[in-house]
Structure 1
């Protein structure tokens, strides 16, 4: 039993209560030794919400979570909705000043965080940032040692009172689909992050459509490596499980050994992730020691997903459903392949528009691009953002009055109406008048038997304007840079061939598992400047 693709509840708070009634004894969360049922999860969320009320949080106030995936993260997000508050997730890779900037811009009242994650104490980092936070009243430590005036998790929950519980129930009942639910800040890998404002109706639609897209169902066991601060982890993770009655297994970090052991021990069925997750599993030398036969659903997607990776997942891992999708913070999941698509479609496209979505590819004049012609992807649908936080000018630049969102991504339609992603418009570079798309070149590089991973960026060139530079993670035996370039010359148009190749041990990644192109561009600039 699952909710329909469109939200059948007025709010996420109502969805939480519904899950407790439909799946009361079903295990909702497994985090270490803790196993929490859906009925217990609802009560924990109500208690957290009541503690917020007792702390002075009003409907519409912002509550931030700056922490790794955990039971407390799930309780906090579901609990803040009980109090009528709005979620502001913070990237776990951010330093103190970056996080403080988000908290300041969102006027956050309460922060839930940790004091020991990968050697970082986020409370100390925030204090050392020097950024004034006049709106921040309370800091709650979900995990870790005490720090300053921050309140321990159990101490904060103890603030809940009988009257606060009554107020939680009143606020939960008052929430509607048009009330703001979350403000997710874009990754900020280029320029300042923007706060994407979503509503309960939009956010629930992302979750319930993801259930329809993947066939997620009651009793599924969902290993969650996608960070909860990201749309994928929060909406296609926590809320999708809430809708379907699946069990959540939050993972603080991507530890491939731990993930494989968990899949085998718990008979996990659902394992979505960025392309790097599947690559790590495929390359793990001890993969055959683990029984992975329970795995059923794989979902991945990004603007630069390697085609060869999808083929290997299909051929070497036990998934019966592999879905490639396309989505972004400003719009949720806009397209996906279908369960009955042939392997080539799954491997080379991100499928067709999701229900309720329209997708256009615009040429340079703003008209519809011809079949096969690369242009900017435009979207219109039920989960397109309400706008950017306190930034009407930036909103107007990307969101038209009639609801079309300019994504900044490049793509084209094939003859069957399937969308192919060419990359980001900011990533495209022009070689002697020809448009070069990194995603296309990277996919071709991955066909080289000595190339494990590849990323391409554009670098300045006096004669051609720009040329490509490839960063390659090699296999053993490793090819030389000259050999890679020579191989490319035999298989690619000249303007696509990287003029420079650097062999590196690993590609830099963002916290959501995507290749951090800005870091590579800096590295390429430093090298070519020598």
Structure 2
């Protein structure tokens, strides 16, 4: 199969290139429809014509994943319109502020009755609505060559250290990312990657581009991941450890799966053995929005490393911080004053992630040790929450853990933990005994709270939301 010309300044979009090579191969699948690459490419061009006719330059897209959103993504690319997916979980006032700050001039909204903080109030009422007409199956519209280095979308960062930033990416970024990912997790015609991550998350957009690059199908999630596996039988799935633990209770659901891309840290050995018995390859990774998704990847492991550096990326560690560059490095942050690209003089992006290299039988693997902005001082000592979380997750009954500081008049701050148990929550005494030989005494949590009901939107745990919800539930239970 011919490789896509990643370095070319102007070329047809990845979708159009694949449609010419593989016109009859499945490109998009759900319970309601099945589109070939030829059909998907033709519909994208028709939507591009509508976007151009309306004079739209920046389109906000709000709502759960749908076929319409996938079509809009490629239609915006063909039209040179900036695709701006926003979370429907944001309050209406925050969406208004973001739309103004980002210069949005039109909005597509999915099932409005199911999203927003007030179902009786339309989202972004000040903006004109865009919805593709039913005539999007038109054919015969010629495809144009595009500038692969121009911005095609923005993705909001998680905002872990403040307000979310709007990261801009180009086709060149996305396909460089897809090529590197394919070196370890190949995609071929006939494969299908489940679109279980939202398109306002870089992991969701990465799936669209990986599939276009490899000629695989985007499989639209229907209900839960378990329902989607049962009904649509994707071959590739992105999951977090808690989801995998649940799925392994019904292992026949995983029968069609070739590869799992997992978020989070170390995978318990027992879980690895179960996947091996099922013939499923599981991969860990380290990635970030600014690098268009994956940076390192490797076989899931109990040591907690994130694998080796993928092709097309560069990584170095200075003073414990991970610095990055390469073809997948984003274009910069969109601001009211233009595009800002915060790089060192020699072109490195400072991730604010702590890390180190470990030698695994002669191969260097990245060990991500946590966020610099998560670290706090406990009794004059630096405490990295992720170290304690990794130790807790070695317990066979713990699926996920978050450690956070609480003010203390004597020590400045003390660690406390939020625990997601596989079944029964271990007692505090049992957890203290388990940690005794694994971490220093001052790092052990002083209390353990149960995991609250917080919706996950990607492969990273939403720390702030989980901590706030757990504290609120704890406060309520004490009333």
Pairwise same-fold verdict (TM > 0.5):
yes
Please state if 1:335 is matched with 2:260.
no
- What secondary structure is seen at the aligned counterpart in 1 of 2:327? coil
Residue in structure 1 matching 2:343, options 399, 402, 422: 399
Q: What's the CA shift string for 1:378-415, capped at 9, x where partnerless?
A: 1121111221112679946x422321111111111113
Q: How does 1:447-486 map to 2 (within 5 A)?
A: 447-486=394-433
Contact between 1:276 and 1:514, CA under 8 Å: does it hold in 2? no
1:115–1:449: structure 2 CA closer, same or farther, 3 Å change rule?
closer
Q: What's the CA shift string for 1:253-298, capped at 9, x where partnerless?
A: 5x14303313xxx44311123334323323x4xx04x353321111
1:199–1:336: structure 2 CA closer, same or farther, 3 Å change rule?
same
C-alpha displacement of 1:421: 0.8
- What secondary structure is seen at the aligned counterpart in 1 of 2:183? helix
Distance 2:333 2:171 in 1: 16
Comparing 385-394 and 22-31, the one that deviates more: 385-394
Residue in structure 2 matching 1:413, options 334, 338, 357: 357
Uncovered stretches (5+) of structure 1, i.e. residues with no partner: 142-152, 364-374
Q: Which residue of 1 aligns with 2:59?
A: 63
The structure with the largest strand share of the pair is 2
Comparing 321-330 and 70-79, the one that deviates more: 321-330
Q: Which residue of 2 aligns with 1:148?
A: none
Q: Which residue of 1 aligns with 2:226?
A: 257
Contact between 1:334 and 1:353, CA under 8 Å: does it hold in 2? no
Q: Which residue of 2 aligns with 1:3?
A: 3
C-alpha displacement of 1:336: 2.4
Distance 2:45 2:446 in 1: 59
Please state if 1:76 is matched with 2:75.
no
Q: TM-score, normalized by length of structure 2? A: 0.88
- What secondary structure is seen at the aligned counterpart in 2 of 1:295? coil
1:199–1:513: structure 2 CA closer, same or farther, 3 Å change rule?
closer
Q: Which residue of 2 aligns with 1:102?
A: 98
Residue in structure 2 matching 1:183, options 147, 154, 164: 154
Distance 2:154 2:31 in 1: 29
Aligned length in residues: 472
Uncovered stretches (5+) of structure 2, i.e. residues with no partner: none
Q: Which residue of 2 aligns with 1:359?
A: 315
Contact between 2:27 and 2:218, CA under 8 Å: does it hold in 1? yes
Residue in structure 2 matching 1:323, options 283, 289, 309: 283
1:514–1:508: structure 2 CA closer, same or farther, 3 Å change rule?
farther
1:457–1:394: structure 2 CA closer, same or farther, 3 Å change rule?
farther
1:12–1:106: structure 2 CA closer, same or farther, 3 Å change rule?
farther
C-alpha displacement of 1:203: 2.3
Q: TM-score, normalized by length of structure 1? A: 0.80
Please state if 1:382 is matched with 2:298.
no
1:443–1:520: structure 2 CA closer, same or farther, 3 Å change rule?
same
1:239–1:9: structure 2 CA closer, same or farther, 3 Å change rule?
farther
Distance 1:498 1:508 in 2: 22
